[in-house]
A and B are shown apart, each in its own frame.
Chain A
Amino acid sequence: MEIRGYNMPNGLYYEAHHYWVKVEGDILVMGMDDFAQQMAGKIVYVQLPFEGKKLSFGNKFAKVESGKWVGKVFAPVSGELLESNQELEMDPTIINQDCYGSGWMYKIKPNDVGDVENLIHGAEAVEKWLLADIERYQQG
């Protein structure tokens, strides 16, 4: 689904700070959404924590740096970090090139996969949320 120039694929769950979450069996794959990567510009560094790191819903577990900003990545659910995308160590701009594919960032084993239902999902909810954020960002 494209919303005002931002690609927001259907079937994904979205964390409020603009990270997507996809359910793959009993694990979750997570990455930055198109809105965030466009706003951030060129990504220069992604912190890749070691596997096994305990994640607590809503708490920061990593940092991402674009040329001009160091931002935080918040856990979309509680669980454990299974894997970080090591390709991003050499070339974090993969996120800018393919944020929903090869630019994925983390794989998570959630304590309860059902927790994703608390994230933003469904075409109507995603559109409403994104339009509100576009408005907020335009206000500068």
Chain B
Amino acid sequence: MELYNLGKVPWEESQLMYHALAKLGRESLCLLSPATPYVCIGFHQDVEQEVDLEFCRNNDIPVFRREVGGGAVFLDGNQLFFQLIIRRDNPIASKRIDSFYRKFLQPVIEVHYRIGIAAEYKPINDLIVGTRKISGSGAAEIGECIVFVGNLILDFDYDTMSKVLKIPDEKFRNKVKKTIEENLSTIRRELGVSEYEKWDAKTLNKILAEEFEKLLGPLTPADKNDELIAKMKELQVSMINDAWLYQKGKRVEGRVVKVRSGLKVVQRMHKATGGLIRADFSVEDGQIKNVFISGDYFCFPRDLVDRLAANLEGCSIDNVSKVVSAFYQKEDFSIPGVIADDWKQVFMI
């Protein structure tokens, strides 16, 4: 199998490489990093709904739609990408999605161990330290191949990440940023500055190659040849243009930011007959948390929605309907034009 250990490359190349290799059916492992930052959205996402395009334009941050799923991410040179391209009929490619990730994340776990970080696999495709995610990954069928991509996160720009996402207001943006800070770690954070500075990108990529080699067999260092360069040029035309970027994606009710597996931060607006309801909350492993409700409806007593929020705190998303119905049956209150079904719609995920 070919090994492309390329170091820093132009941002476009950090995406076009694996798309091109997969479409050419060339099994390989690429280790690279973008020379400049960009935003990368998932295959099915709607860019106008997910990304603050004005912020990106004003800050010269390009946006790219990949053929791999998942959410919008901010990528920069402090992340070392690994991109594995294997043919679908290669027996090493596990058929089950969970087995696939477990197998191919193992080398990444080993790299973390070798530098002193006890990373663990968390199904289906997370790598965590304690409760915090420390590496992202995704997979897709492209051409005749399966592509598995992910990163070693040396350091992370939480502030810019929270700014590139399209978020309706600053309060919710702060909540998103805080949640990401609390739930996404980095190699720098785990090791501390002095220990972190002992590791450079070149060494870490060498360790990555060694660990993947244990799984894949010998890797042969390769350079981009004419065929690969030509394919990337072809894809540059088809994938770096407005038609590809702005294609219709999945519409999402309200704003939902996935921070890691099992953790989403949500903002919902809902127009009830009696007024607008706004709710900010998190969904953590199926439970509703950090509920804050506001809006322009009339209600009595004044603390009514705070009591409803307290009832919903910690409630399983499957039980929202029951909790809201029970609240409406038991409590004595007045909230004209806002019925139980309005709340159910707000909190349904």
* Interface of A toward B, CB cutoff 8 Å: 39-41, 44-45, 47, 63, 65-72, 89-90, 133, 136-137, 139-140
Contacts and interface: CB of A to CB of B under 8 A. Distances in A.
Nearest to A65: B69
Contacts, number: 60
Interface string B138-172: 11110000000000000000000000000000000
Given A44-B69, A45-B44, A65-B44, A71 B141 contact: yes
Contact of B44 (A44, A71, A133, A136): A44
A70 B138 CA distance: 9
Interface of A is mostly: mixed
Interface stretch (B94-102, B282-290, B305-313, B319-327): B94-102
B101 A70 contact: no
A41 B250 contact: no
B103 A69 contact: no
B84 to A, nearest CB: 14
Given A44-B250, A70-B43, A70-B140, A140 B125 contact: no
B69 A69 contact: yes
What 4 A-B pairs are tightest by C-beta distance, nearest first? A45-B44, A70-B140, A140-B99, A137-B95
B67 interface: yes
Contacts of B140: 69-71
Interface in B84-107: 94-97, 99, 101-103
A40 B97 contact: yes
A39 B96 CA distance: 7
A39 B97 contact: yes
A65 B43 contact: yes
Given A39-B96, A44-B69, A68 B124 contact: yes
